[in-house]
Homo-oligomer: A and B are copies of this chain.
């Protein structure tokens, strides 16, 4: 110890350790897994379907994430449920995406190709939505799969999974603004919802990001399941 020649091997090993975390996120399929897990815990089979990979491969990717501590597991009966190790991991994922949007030239094109033209979708910022919920002049619709809604959602939101939205539009009051949200800024569900609602003549916009960002900002959430609006 003390003031001496730099300990190259030790420094390299430490930074290799940091790099392992980045490497774990350095695969598109694992990134998708983290994105889904930010909504709440899921079992392997379910996750495999979500990312469109084989179960064995998905299990392998989950192990990679678990080895560096980004995810944790819990067994329930025959199933193994994976979850993010902490909200900090969701925060890391969020910052990573922001940097990608700000600096990585090709993200714009890729996002445009996947999400379609977003110019018409007018984003609602979190603070604006907080205010409008307080004023009570807006309906907040969670268009994620119902299980994700049940695991946690924006306080006061109703659950209408995107695939049921077309059938349930008529149950929404016609003269109130609708704000749709889903998993995050790069999730298509809310985009699709806004387009559909507008086609039906409703005033609809989407939240700028999704539930994980809302929760990480310490804004009010509900975790007790609320009965889904049925027709």
Contacts and interface: CB of A to CB of B under 8 A. Distances in A.
Contacts of A193: 3
Given A23-B23, A192-B2, A18 B165 contact: no
Given A3-B163, A163-B3, A32 B17 contact: no
A27 interface: yes
Interface size, A (range):
35 or more
B19 A25 contact: yes
Given A28-B12, A92-B95, A196-B3, A21 B114 contact: no
Contacts of A92: 95-96, 99
A22 B3 CA distance: 34
A215 interface: no
Nearest to A20: B104
Copies in the complex: 2
Interface of chain A: mostly helix, strand, loop or mixed: helix
A6 B2 CA distance: 58
Interface string A1-23: 11100111011111111111111
Contact of A16 (B11, B28, B195): B28
A100 B106 CA distance: 28
Interface of A: 1-3, 6-8, 10-32, 35, 52, 68-70, 85-86, 88-89, 91-92, 95-100, 102-107, 110-111, 113-114, 116, 162-163, 165-166, 186, 188, 192-193, 195-196
